[in-house]
């Protein structure tokens, strides 16, 4: 049984989503069904801004998709292009400008966000992201846009005869809202989880923007053009599209992007691309560690990757996975204070030399404390990764009750990698021999659930993990 429940890890994600809903909720509640009339041209202007943002995002994403054969980006481009066309129809159908009173404005406004949300959500479906479909999807995108343009032209001619469907707050409106809010809620969940992993402001903006779109969809479907809630919904729509489209488009400029709408970011990505997701200071420390001892730098990367993989298997929430990634990458930073002659000694260490080695956890905590900006959990991971459940570890002989689950995970990952990697004083052990040692000490030195999760990973995921490690190492070659 997993130590962490399946509900608790998701609570922080839900908190991010709920906090993003505060402004839309207050705005809709404050305006609601109050009578509010504005000039028709203002409606065209507001919708035009939203449409322009969607067009810019669509063009950017589609161009990048073709250049990089990026199917995720193309799905996003398709979503924004469809939204843009429906917004154009919605604007052109504004009563009192080109057309008299008509139902087309309501239909286009009602379908815009639900249809766009479905297409944006498709970017995270693995079965729809195969590169060989890129040309087919681009053709489909152009066909959809062309079809919408054609249909729009035909419908505008007969717009005055189109009934107002769905009627505000009616059964159909509620059904469309429920169906349309589902993919948008999925997008908000993906973006919030991504933010908790990356802590990037852009990812938080996207998460809040999607929530604003849900609020906009509610207002558009539950109020008429003569009610303030309808116009509040348009404000949320413009803001939401901008908050989603701009960061998502800018994200494509970078070789490593979080893709909050597509989701799928894992804690291992934080380790593999630490400078992008964990900051330049972590990267600088690892470079310094690599200059001093390349084998230690490689060890820290492997341990961090293995630790976060165990953490994901045990259900750690996103915020703690991020801390585990940081702690794993920095757990041996104290070895910067250990003389090279001791670190690279090919033979057995003397008691004095081993005592010097045993100081590195405390030295690492002190260094990170002086630098500042690291949480207490990261500091504990650095200081306690050699502690054992029975209190037989070092430097503080901490017993099981005071060892955080993340520390227990890091301990198991650290020992396993130390045993299965070549050292200057011995050859690497086979994985089964290392696991057997961990099994023998399970319950005494090592946490049983962590060891069990490690065994599952080594058995099932080790080839994929090895490829990730090799890819990370290839991208971080350190000159010595």
Name the domain boundary from 222, 251, 280. 251
Neighbours of 6 (CB within 10 A): 8
Largest CA distance in the chain: 93
Query: Do 320 and 371 belong to one domain?
Result: yes
CA angle 470, 458, 318 (to 5 degrees): 75
Token pair listed for 160: 């005055």
C-alpha to C-alpha distances, 101 to 40, 41, 94, 104, nearest whole angstrom: 11, 14, 8, 9
| Helices of type H across 128-279 | 134-158, 171-198, 201-222, 228-251, 267-272, 274-278
Residues whose CB falls within 8 Å of the CB of residue 468, separated by 6 or more in sequence, listed in order:
268, 272, 305
Residue 256: inside a domain: no
pLDDT at site 466: 55
In this structure, the answer to whether residues 231 and 324 fall within a common structural domain is: no
Domain assignment present for 63: yes
CATH of the domain at 241: 1.20.1070
Contact at 8 Å (CB) between 44 and 349?
no
* 446 strand-pairing partners: 442
Same domain, 155 and 299: no
Q: Are residues 86 and 234 in the same domain?
A: yes
236 and 278 co-located in one domain = no
Residue 413 lies in a domain: yes
For residues 130 and 198, membership in a common domain is answered with yes
Q: What is the pLDDT of residues 64-80, one digit of tens each?
A: 888 888 888 888 999 99
- Return the pLDDT at 2: 45
Which pLDDT score, from 0 to 100, does residue 304 have? 96
218 and 316 fall within a common domain = no
* Same domain membership, residue 356 and residue 418: yes
**Residues 187, 217: contact at Cβ < 8 Å?**
no
In a domain, 479, yes or no: no
3 is a domain residue = no
Q: What is the pLDDT of residue 464?
A: 62
Are 222 and 345 found together in one domain? no
Q: Show the low-confidence residues of the chain (pLDDT under 70).
A: 1-11, 131-133, 152, 154-156, 159, 255, 424-425, 461-480
CA neighbor of 206 nearest in space, from 254, 253, 261: 261
DSSP code of residue 167: P
Instruction: Please state, in angstroms and rounded to a whole number, the distance separating the CA atoms of residues 387 and 16.
Output: 34
- The DSSP string of 275-323 is HHHH-HHHHHHHHHHHHH-HHHHHHHHHHHHHHHHHHHHTT--HHHHHH
Structural domain boundaries, residue 53: 8-251
- How many structural domains does the chain have? 2
251, 280, 306 - which closes a domain: 251
Among 251, 280, 307, residue at a domain's last position:
251
Are 214 and 362 within one domain? no
**Could you tell me if residue 480 is inside a domain?**
no
- Does any domain span residue 1? no
Query: How do residues 346-384 score in pLDDT, each as one tens digit?
Result: 778 888 988 999 999 999 999 999 999 999 999 999 999
292 to each of 181, 285, 336, 344, how far by Cα in Å? 53, 11, 7, 10
Contacts of 269-272 spanning 24+ positions with Cβ under 8 A: 269/197, 270/197, 270/198, 270/308, 270/321, 270/322, 270/325, 271/301, 271/304, 271/305, 271/308, 271/325, 271/328, 271/329, 271/472, 272/305, 272/468, 272/471, 272/472, 272/475
The tokens of 28 are what?
Answer: 């809709």
Q: Are 296 and 426 part of one and the same domain?
A: yes
CB 75 within 8 A of CB 187: no
Indicate whether 200 and 154 sit together in one domain: yes
Whichever domain contains 396, its CATH number is: 1.10.3210.10
User: Partners of 99 in the beta sheet?
Assistant: 95
Question: Would you say residue 80 lies in a domain?
Answer: yes
Spatial distance between the Cα atoms of 476 and 286, rounded to a whole number of angstroms: 9
């Amino acid at each position: 049984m997993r130590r962490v429940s399946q509900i608790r890890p998701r609570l922080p994600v839900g908190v991010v989503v709920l906090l993003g809903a505060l402004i839309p909720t207050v705005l809709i509640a404050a305006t609601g069904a109050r009578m509010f009339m504005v000039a028709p041209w203002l409606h065209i202007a507001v919708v035009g801004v939203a449409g322009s943002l969607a067009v810019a995002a669509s063009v950017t994403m589609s161009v990048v998709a073709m250049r990089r054969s990026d199917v995720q980006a193309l799905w996003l481009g398709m979503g924004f292009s469809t939204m843009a066309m429906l917004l154009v129809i919605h604007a052109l159908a504004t009563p009192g400008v080109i057309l008299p009173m008509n139902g087309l404005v309501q239909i286009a406004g009602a379908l815009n966000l639900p249809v766009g949300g479905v297409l944006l959500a498709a970017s995270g479906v693995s079965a729809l992201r195969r590169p060989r479909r890129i040309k087919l999807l681009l053709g489909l995108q152009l066909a959809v846009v062309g079809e919408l343009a054609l249909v729009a032209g035909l419908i505008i001619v007969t717009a005055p005869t189109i009934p107002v469907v769905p009627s505000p707050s009616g059964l159909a409106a509620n059904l469309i809202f429920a169906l349309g809010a589902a993919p948008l809620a999925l997008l908000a969940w993906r973006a919030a989880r991504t933010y908790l992993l990356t802590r990037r402001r852009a990812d938080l903006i996207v998460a809040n923007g999607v929530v604003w779109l849900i609020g906009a969809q509610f207002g558009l479907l539950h109020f008429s053009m003569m009610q303030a809630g309808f116009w509040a919904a348009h404000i949320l729509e413009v803001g939401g599209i901008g908050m989603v489209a701009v960061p998502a488009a800018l994200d494509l400029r970078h070789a490593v992007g979080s893709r909050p709408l597509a989701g799928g970011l894992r804690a291992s990505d934080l380790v593999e691309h630490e400078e992008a997701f964990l900051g330049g200071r972590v990267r600088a420390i690892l470079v310094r560690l690599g200059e001093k001892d390349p084998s230690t730098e490689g060890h820290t990367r492997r341990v961090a990757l293995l630790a976060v993989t165990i953490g994901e298997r045990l259900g750690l929430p996103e915020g703690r996975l991020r801390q585990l990634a940081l702690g794993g990458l920095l757990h041996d930073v104290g070895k910067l204070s250990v003389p090279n002659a001791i670190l690279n000694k090919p033979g057995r260490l003397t008691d004095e030399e081993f005592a010097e080695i045993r100081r590195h956890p405390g030295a690492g905590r002190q260094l990170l404390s002086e630098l500042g900006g690291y949480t207490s959990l990261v500091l504990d991971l650095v200081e306690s990764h050699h502690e054992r459940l029975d209190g037989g570890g070092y430097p503080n002989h901490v017993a099981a009750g005071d060892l955080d689950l993340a520390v227990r995970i890091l301990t198991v990952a650290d020992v396993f990698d130390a045993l299965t990697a070549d050292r200057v004083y011995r050859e690497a052990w086979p994985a089964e021999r290392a696991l057997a040692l961990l099994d023998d000490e399970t319950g005494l030195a090592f946490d049983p659930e962590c060891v069990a999760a490690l065994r599952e990973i080594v058995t099932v995921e080790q080839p994929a993990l090895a490829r990730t490690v090799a890819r990370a190492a290839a991208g971080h070659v350190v000159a010595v």
